[in-house]
Structure 1
Amino acid sequence: MSFAKIGSVSLHYRFTPSSADAEPIVFINSLGTDFRIWDTMAADFAGDVPFLVYDKRGHGLSALGDGIMSIDDHVDDLLGLLDLLAIGRAVICGLSVGGLIAQRLCQRRPELVASLILCDTAHKIGTSETWNTRIATVETQGIAAIADGVMEKWFTPAFHANRAAELAGYRNMLVRQPVAGYAGTCAAIRDADYTEAAAEIAVPSLCIVGDQDGSTPPELVRSLAALIPGSRFEIIRDAGHIPCVEQPDALAALIRGFVPSGA
């Protein structure tokens, strides 16, 4: 395991180099998960392209530090990690809140972003009311109180029916996240609106969504793609909110067809 002190935060990460002459891919995970959601993807890309996965502040084995006030806190952490690893330019792949982090990183430091893969995300996700309700629930009753509903949004009915052991494992991943990290990131998502910024994105961008995503449905992701000049929009069949778990081969194929390095 690798850890880095970035400002006030100890971040848990894994960087896998490659002998291939390719820009690294940085995978940013979703709310309530850790970087293990990318394990199958990482195995697929191993040796072909360098890649970085990490646990966001307040998630997985990463510390909360001074807390989470905005998406910029997560961006600051990633910028520090990229600097530490001497990654000067990368493909940024963000899932859900990871996609918000990717968009804000591109807005702040476009020279670091070779291209964007925005997976099951949007320019704005949810409303203040829905996020405030979720924050209040987890702070008073714990993450377990919302876990079953979240699983319905994350995964398709087929996943629930046929992959029960995995479903239980991902539910455990969710409920074992620190409440402060989860609630703080909920607040950061609530306050993020990159509608205007999306129209200024000037790097190649691929927007992807599972056809049964209950958190950021296809039409919402399509609306993000419509804002980004020249972007490409793709739907993954038989997938919910986390296609890197449910349909990793399909997601990997889309990334390989998009990344200029031919990873």
Structure 2
Amino acid sequence: MTAPAKAHVEEAGSTGPLLLCLHGIGSSSASFAPQLATLAGGFRVAAWDAPGYGRSPDPDGPLDLDGFADAAAEVIRARGGRAHVLGVSWGGVVALRLALRHPELVASLIVADSSPGSGTAPEKAAAMRARVPELERLGPRAFAERRGPRLVSPDAPADLVRRVVDTMADAVRLPGYAYAAESMAGADLRGDLARITAPALVLCGDKDQVTGPEAAQALAGGLHKTAYVIVKDAGHLAHQEQPERFDAWVLAHLHIVTDPDTHPSHLTED
């Protein structure tokens, strides 16, 4: 059996349940700086650079969605017990697949600005695959300059846009991005959502122009134990653009699922 691909992990907090953070396809652990700072008071927060991203080594061979999910499972196993898993965009798809393949490791899910995958429509899959030659042609910096600004709302401050672009430019490279893009292009988890047993919080920025509320609603509607939240004044990277609102909902979810005397609501709006 092939060993799971290795991943660099940034960590904060020394006590409490484990919260594993999985970044989007054009990002890295750096995008979770607000969560590492805010949530570490009561949780052990771990944010990975996916295999082939940032400070993680390139995998020995191609990774599909199962391969990325297995790598995330190894991060949890290395820290013992189970984890609450926060996945943003592509990271949310990985988190959902992780919950399907390794349900014993996932205490709950927080899926933000995500979707069932790009394999839900041929045009979405083709657009995802087209990013790979674009990255190869432009290089990471120009690729990030082109794609980064649309990940936040039109009213996002310039310093946030710059941080998003810089994070992408530092994180993405081939072949890791190509493996991630293909894993996303081939993913259609709509038929699998009902098999996920972990309680879930689904969040989406109200100004998300990438996946958007419709895709988030498809996730929320397909999962059994779920709450759905719209984060106001946020684009595709709600956890970076509105970290105080985002983290407040994450903390509320974590407190609910770790307290047996409370129960999650089915629909909440920020």
User: Aligned equivalents of 2:146 and 2:227: distance in 1?
Assistant: 30
| Separation (CA, whole Å) in 1 of partners of 2:46 and 2:149 | 28
Could you say what secondary structure the match of 2:192 adopts? helix
Code of the residue aligned with 1:222 in structure 2: it is: Q
Quick check: 1:138–1:183 contact (8 Å CA) kept in 2?
no
Spell out the pairing of 1:63-212 with structure 2 (5 A cutoff): 63-86=57-80, 88-125=81-118, 127-159=124-156, 163-176=157-170, 177-212=172-207
Asked if 1:42 corresponds to 2:39, the answer is no
Letter in 1 for 2:189: Y
Q: CA deviation at 1:183?
A: 2.0
* Counterpart residue number, 1:12: 8
Change (3 A) 1:203 1:58: same
Q: 2: CA distance between counterparts of 1:95 and 1:120?
A: 6
Q: Cα distance, 1:213 vs. partner?
A: 0.9
The answer for the alignment partner of 2:55 in structure 1 is: 61
Alignment of 1:208-227 (within 5 A): 208-227=203-222
Q: Describe the superposition over 1:145-187 as per-residue Cα deviations: whole angstroms up to 9, x where unpaired.
A: 543442243111111xxx2233223212212321322222111
Taking structure 1 as the reference length, the TM-score comes to: 0.88
Q: Which of residues 247, 254, 260 in structure 1 aligns to 2:249?
A: 254
Question: What residue in structure 2 maps to residue 25 of structure 1?
Answer: 19
Seen in structure 2, the aligned counterparts of structure 1 residues 8 and 255 have a Cα distance that, compared at 3 Å, is: closer
- 2:210 & 2:202 partners in 1: Cα distance? 15
TM-score by length of 2: 0.86
For the residues of structure 2 that align with 1:46 and 1:179, how far apart are their CA atoms?
32
* Runs of at least 5 residues in structure 2 that lack an aligned partner in the other structure: 260-270
Query: Helix, strand or coil: the match of 2:115?
Result: coil
**Aligned pairs, how many?**
251
Aligned to 2:237: 242
Residue identity in the other structure for 1:185: A
Decide whether the 8 Å contact of 2:118 with 2:125 is kept in 1.
no
Mind listing any 5+ residue stretches in structure 1 that lack a counterpart? 1-5
Q: Which letter maps to 2:242?
A: Q
> Would the aligned equivalents of 1:123 and 1:224 in 2 still touch at CA under 8 Å?
yes
Larger CA deviation: 133-142 vs 248-257: 133-142
Aligned-pair Cα RMSD in Å: 1.9
Over 6 Å off, 4+ runs: none
Instruction: Measure the CA separation in 2 of the matches of 1:83 and 1:112.
Output: 8
With 47-56 and 126-135 compared, the bigger mean Cα shift is at 126-135
Give identity over the alignment, percent.
Answer: 27
Distance in 2 between residues matched to 1:125 and 1:144, nearest whole Å: 24
